[in-house]
Chain A
Amino acid sequence: MTILTDISAAIMAGDDAGVSDRTRQAIAQRIPLKTILDEGLIAGMTVVGDRFRDHDIFLPDVLLAARAMYAGMDLLKPLLVGEGIPSAGTVVIGSVRGDLHDIGKNLVGIMLRGAGFDVIDLGHDVAPARMVETARDRGAAVIGMSALLTTTMPAMREVVELLKKERLDARVRTIVGGAPVTEAFARSIGADAYAFDAANAVDVVKELVGRR
């Protein structure tokens, strides 16, 4: 369907108005909402993510595309909710206790939303208990934790241990990231996964949700 290809192209061009117009047209043409989402909006963001991963485009281009994606999602989301079409899953994200650096975490949130996930962003300096309680109460599939300071990384272990203590670890997966965080560290604290950047985080979260 050309209109869906046009939506994807407009996303890749970072054209908010174009995405908005074409999404409106697609809805008017009664194309199934899930098709507009998957084959128009998400397909466009997927190409953007791939090009970003290949260093063909850079962060500002990705963010312009994300904003364009949101222009379409703003139209589509109420209709999807109205029809009871579920999202790809719910992800709780936050920078861990004591860490005020949340720019990388925000980027992960933007890209997860672009991939069709519902994202609950708890901000920065988030206590372990709040992350776990939010995931439990909101039925989240994944908790994503970010840290930029080596001194705040131990709080990630607390979240993992609290999930185990609450017997939620089989239902809620954990992913960690941030400049000083490594795959080895993730393994050492018992986290389910590690992501080295925002694009990788989207791939890993998809995998974690698929594994549940």
Chain B
Amino acid sequence: MTTLLDLAPTDVAPDRAQVLRHLGIPSDAKVSERTEQVYRAAGELFASSVAPAGVLADVTVEEFDAVYRGEGRNQPETPVALIFPRAEHLALFAVTLGPRIGAALTGCFAAQDFALAYTLDAMASVAADTAADVTERRYEGALRARGWAATDGAALRYSPGYCGWDLTGQRRLFARLRPETIGLTLTDSYLMQPLKSVSGVMLAGPHAIHRFPPTYDFCERCETRTCRERLRAMAARRRGAA
């Protein structure tokens, strides 16, 4: 089943602390008045430009296996390859903030308004991740509504380009998901347009299937470590539910 997601701008409102972190400003730092002014201007531009949309499509393990194998360029061993065969539910997804954010960014750079451009970009990056987070929670909620015994389960997302899943995997993901319905397309270099978009797979199953040691070759080169953050968030949600 393919579902178009009803995402409102308020659903993807970026968290200020995360935006500031993107800008390299520590949470305990004093923000200058000039930066506050730029932040407010970026917030207004963001609000007038964002048009979030999303799409989600259930797939079987076999269908995802074909998507995941892509063009055969994944790392030999990856967390996703271990997790998805053990998942109880799987869904491909894509979310986007729409084309106007990109146009606004281009306009800021063209006007050499770098501070505004970077602040808006940081907001949009956080918002795109927020859109994916919202989609993840809604997917989990929908599964529960469909009777999924999720007392010890969680849905987490994984994306091509990360954790050894090669970016070329986008081709089959797009062919199966058809996110053109929300205005999202793929370039010849496997990049999404509009830029502020996230795609991937939601894998739902017992908490245990999502845990993996960050000891793969590519983990050594990874400084984002978002897998750790997401696993911590999953554990926190689990504690909250208990």
B-binding residues in A (CB < 8 A): 14, 55, 57-61, 63-64, 66-67, 70, 97-98, 100, 103, 106-107, 110, 124-125, 149-153, 179-182, 185
Interface string of B34-45 (1 = CB under 8 A from A): 110011000000
CB-CB nearest in chain A for B73:
A151
CB distance from A66 to the nearest CB of B (A): 6
Question: Interface residues of B: mostly helix, strand, loop or mixed?
Answer: loop
Q: Using Cβ atoms and an 8 Å threshold, which residues of chain A touch B115? A: 14, 59-61, 63-64, 67
Q: Chain A nearest CB: distance from B70 CB in Å?
A: 11
Complex Cα spacing A60 to B114, Å? 8
Query: Mind listing 5 A-B residue pairs with CB under 8 Å?
Result: A14-B115, A59-B23, A59-B25, A60-B118, A98-B191
B interface residues, Cβ below 8 angstroms from A: 23-26, 29, 31-32, 34-35, 38-39, 109, 112-115, 117-119, 121, 161-162, 164, 166-167, 187, 189-192, 195, 218, 221-224
- CB contacts (< 8 Å) of A153 on chain B: these are 221
Instruction: State the Cβ distance, B76 to closest chain A Cβ, in Å.
Output: 14
B114 touches A110 (CB 8 A): yes
Contact A179 B224 (CB under 8 A): yes
A150 to B22, CA, bound (A): 19
For A98, what are the chain B residues with a Cβ–Cβ distance below 8 Å?
167, 189-191
What is the distance, in angstroms, from A57's C-beta to the closest C-beta of chain B? 7
Asked whether, in the complex, the Cβ of A180 is within 8 Å of the Cβ of B224, the reply is yes
CB distance from B209 to the nearest CB of A (A): 23
- Contact between B25 and A103, CB atoms less than 8 A apart: no
The list of the 4 closest CB pairs from A to B, nearest first, reads A63-B115, A63-B114, A60-B35, A100-B191
Task: Check if A149 sits within 8 Å of B167, measured CB to CB.
Answer: yes
Given A60-B35, A64-B34, A103-B118, 10 other A-B residues pairs in contact with their CB atoms under 8 A: A14-B34, A57-B32, A58-B35, A60-B23, A60-B34, A98-B190, A124-B191, A150-B162, A151-B162, A180-B221
Is the Cβ of A151 less than 8 Å from the Cβ of B34? no
Question: Which residue of the partner chain, among B26, B32, B121, B167, contacts A151 with CB atoms under 8 Å?
Answer: B167
- Across the interface, A61 reaches (CB within 8 A) one of B32, B187, B190, B223, namely B32
**Min C-beta distance of B31 to chain A, whole Å:** 8
Given A70-B112, A97-B189, A151-B161: A60 in contact with B224 (beta carbons within 8 A): no
In the assembled complex, how far is the CB of residue B112 from the closest CB belonging to chain A, in whole angstroms?
A: 5
Q: A57–B38 Cα gap in the complex (Å)?
A: 15
Inter-chain contacts of A103 with B (CB < 8 A): 118, 121
Distance between Cα atoms of A151 and B224 in the complex (Å): 14
Asked if A180 meets B118 with Cβ closer than 8 Å, knowing A57-B32, A70-B112, the reply is: no
